[in-house]
Amino acid sequence: MTYQDLYTQIKKKKSFLCIGLDTDPSRIPGHLKRLEDPVYEFNKRIIDATSDLCIAYKPNLAFYEALGPEGLLSLQKTIEYIPADIFTIADAKRGDIGNTSELYAKAYFEKFSFDAITVNPYMGNDSVVPFLQFKGKWVILLALTSNEGSMDFQLLKAPGKELYKQVILKSKDWAGPDQLMYVVGATQAEFLREIRVLIPDHFLLIPGIGAQGGDLESVVKNGINHSVGLIVNSSRSIIYASKEEGFERAVRQKSQEIKKEMEDLMDKYL
The alpha carbon dihedral of 225, 219, 89, 21 has a sign of: negative
- Report in angstroms the alpha-carbon separations of 30 from 22, 24, 79, 212, 251: 17, 12, 23, 26, 16
Cβ at position 39, least distance to a copy of itself in Å = 13
Q: Which 170-189 positions form the footprint of a copy of itself (CB under 8 A)?
A: 170
Q: Is residue 126 involved in binding a copy of itself (CB under 8 A)? A: yes
Choosing from 54, 82, 163, 209, the residue that interacts with a copy of itself (CB under 8 A) is 163
Cβ at position 36, least distance to a copy of itself in Å = 15
Quick one: which segment of 37-45, 150-158, 194-202, 220-228 binds a copy of itself (CB under 8 A)? 150-158
Cβ at position 200, least distance to a copy of itself in Å = 23
- Report in angstroms the alpha-carbon separations of 130 from 54, 118, 138, 242, 243: 29, 13, 11, 41, 41
Asked if 155 and 164 touch (Cβ cutoff 8 Å), the reply is: yes
Quick one: which segment of 43-51, 140-148, 188-196, 261-269 binds a copy of itself (CB under 8 A)? 140-148
- Report in angstroms the alpha-carbon separations of 218 from 61, 111, 224, 226: 28, 37, 10, 17
Q: Is residue 60 involved in binding a copy of itself (CB under 8 A)? A: yes
DSSP-assigned letters across all residues of 173-194: TTS-TTTEEEEE-GGGGGGHHH
Choosing from 4, 33, 66, 194, the residue that interacts with a copy of itself (CB under 8 A) is 66
Catalytic amino acids?
93
**Count of residues in the chain:** 270
How does strand 116-119 pair with strand 138-144?
A: parallel
Choosing from 27, 157, 193, 260, the residue that interacts with a copy of itself (CB under 8 A) is 157
Q: What 8-state DSSP symbol labels residue 128? A: H
Choosing from 72, 175, 198, 250, the residue that interacts with a copy of itself (CB under 8 A) is 72
Here's the x/- map for a copy of itself, 208-227, by CB under 8 A: it reads as ----x---------------
Nearer to a copy of itself by Cβ, of 36 and 159: the residue is: 159
Nearer to a copy of itself by Cβ, of 10 and 19: the residue is: 19
Rounded Cα distance between 267 and 262, Å, is 9
Q: Is residue 100 involved in binding a copy of itself (CB under 8 A)? A: yes
**Where are the strands (E) in the chain, listed by range?**
17-19, 56-57, 87-94, 116-119, 138-144, 180-184, 204-206, 230-234
Number of continuous H segments (helices) and E segments (strands) in the chain: 12, 8
Choosing from 37, 44, 81, 123, the residue that interacts with a copy of itself (CB under 8 A) is 123
Q: Which residues bind a copy of itself (CB under 8 A)?
A: 22, 60, 62-63, 65-70, 72-73, 76, 91, 93-98, 100-101, 103-104, 106-107, 111-112, 120-128, 142, 145-154, 156-159, 163, 166-167, 170, 212
